[in-house]
Amino acid sequence: MASHFSSIGMPVDTDKDMVNLLKKASKYADKIFCKYGYYLNWKSKTGAELWIHIDINGKCIGVNPFYNGESIFSAGIIKKIEREGDNDFEGAFYGWADPQDNNPENGLYPFNFDCVNLAVNEGLFLPCILNIKLSAFAHEIDIFLNEGDYRSSQKEEPHFASKSFIPSGVFPPGTNSEAIFTGTILNHKLFRNELTGKKYYWIKTETLGGIIDVTADPELIKKKLQINGIITGSFYLSGKII
């Protein structure tokens, strides 16, 4: 079954699978310290990452996946989203895409994203404008050969542009880092995660607001990917402040 972890070639079906994965990744991870302890940051050659949370007692209390690719996304960061269940290392931000006139709240649309390196960026003075790496882990995805193919597929109103973004995560209760978007394929590759040997797709996508690195479990890809094709679907958004 597709998941955020299988989207970067790390399928985990049981708690034992997760424990084994974290033990293996920890051997090759870098330590990134913060006041709560440190992250163990495992990085693959193909862009897949794990951000493992180790508290001040040396205990693993969580982990988040990420994909560090070629995305370029300017964001006006407005506030941190407080969510029940998040530990000190994780959380989300609410902001605006592609802010204009040096105003963080004057952008194309609002959106939420989980921030994998939140604990080392707590000193941010908000609101502010930052560049982030933005990855989108596919929940559902559809593929079209070109823009004409995509347009002809829309039989019912409303019709959406080939570069469009619906920030579904900001709808009440507004704490989810999810979105529905459509974009043009700029590049794509089928990678193999060197830690697990499992494959996953990377799709560099230009949508309204900027470029996003889409990753997907191969079981979600039912049609051929090609440059200048169109993808559309629902996604989980994960960002890294750079």
Residues 161 and 209 in one domain: yes
User: Domain range holding 79?
Assistant: 73-132
Domain final residue pick, 21, 49, 66: 66
Q: Is residue 1 part of a domain?
A: no
Residue 206's pLDDT band (cuts 50, 70, 90): very high
In this prediction, residue 155 carries a pLDDT of 86
Give the ranges where 133-181 is alpha helix by DSSP (H). Answer: 147-153
Domain final residue pick, 66, 84, 104: 66
Residues 237 and 141 in one domain: yes
214-227 mean pLDDT:
97
206-221 mean pLDDT:
98
Q: Per-residue pLDDT tens for 111-142?
A: 999 999 999 998 899 999 999 999 999 999 99
In this prediction, residue 6 carries a pLDDT of 98
Residues 138 and 215 in one domain: yes
CA-closest candidate to residue 231, choices 188, 169, 193, 190: 188
Give pTM, 2 decimals: 0.96
**DSSP conformational letter for 157:** S
> How many domains does the chain fold into?
3
Residues 147 and 227 in one domain: yes
Residues 109 and 193 in one domain: no
Residues 117 and 141 in one domain: no
Q: Is residue 196 part of a domain?
A: yes
Residues 15 and 61 in one domain: yes
Q: Per-residue pLDDT tens for 152-192?
A: 998 888 889 999 999 999 999 999 999 999 999 999 999 99
Q: Per-residue pLDDT tens for 84-107?
A: 999 999 999 999 999 999 999 999
Q: Is residue 117 part of a domain?
A: yes
Residues 218 and 195 in one domain: yes
Cis peptide before 158 (omega within 30 of 0): yes
CA-closest candidate to residue 188, choices 237, 151, 147, 138: 138
Q: Per-residue pLDDT tens for 12-61?
A: 999 999 999 999 999 999 999 999 999 999 999 999 999 999 999 999 99
Angle value at C-alpha 167, between 162 and 173, nearest 5 degrees: 160
In this prediction, residue 1 carries a pLDDT of 66
In this prediction, residue 2 carries a pLDDT of 86
